[in-house]
Amino acid sequence: MTLAPDLVILNGKIVTVDRDFSIAEAMAVKDGRILVVGKNIAIRPLAGGESRILDLKGKTMLPGINDAHIHAQWFGTKMPPLALDVSPRKVKSIREIVQLVGERAKTLNPGEWIRGSGLTLHSLEEYAVDPKRYPNKACVASRRFPKYGPVHKGASAVPLENVVDVFLNRPYSSA
C-alpha cells in the first residue's frame, strides 16, 4: 500500500471555499479524498511513481458536486421563447391565455407543440369569481384552433388542443 496520492493537481487557482475562501496552487488526492491543498512547491514532492499529475496551466478549479438531477434544461425550456409565459405579469384571465395560445398557433406548422409555464390560478379573474373555474380543453377548443395528435397525460409538452392542461398539470374541468 502506497502513501503517495493518486492525483496531484498543480499550477492552478484552486478555490478552497474554506473559512477565508483562500486560493491554492495545488492539491493532492488519495482514494477520492482531498489530502492537502497548498503551494506547488509543497504538493509536487508528494507525487509517487503511480500518481497522476494534472497541470491546470493557471486555470481555475472550483469545488462542486456533479448532480445528474439538475433542472437547468427544464428551466430553460419553460422560459420564453420556448414556452408561453402565462404568469400573472403576463395574463390576468382565461381569455388572455386563449389569446396567447391562438397567437402562437398561427406561427406553428402542423405537428408542432406549444408549451406554457407560470400560471397562477388565483391570479385569474375567473378564478376570483369561482375557484373551481380554471382553463380547460373547452376554452381552447372553443376558439377552433388546429388540433394535433392525441392527449399525452403527464407529458411536459402536449398537442395544442391540450395546451391549457400543461399550464395546470391537472385534469380537465368543466367550462
Q: What is the mean pLDDT of residues 109-116?
A: 76
Write down the CATH number for the domain with range 7-61. 2.30.40.10
The pTM is what? 0.43
Cα dihedral 30, 31, 34, 36 in deg (nearest 10): -20
Average pLDDT, rounded, for the chain: 75
Q: Which phi and psi (to 5°) does residue 70 adopt?
A: -80, 160
Residues 6+ apart with CB under 8 A from 175: 136, 138, 139, 142
pLDDT tens by residue, 123-152: 888 888 888 776 766 565 544 443 333 333
Predicted confidence (pLDDT) per residue in 74-94, tens digit: 666 777 777 788 888 889 988
> Looking at the chain, which residues constitute the CATH 2.30.40.10 domain(s)?
7-61
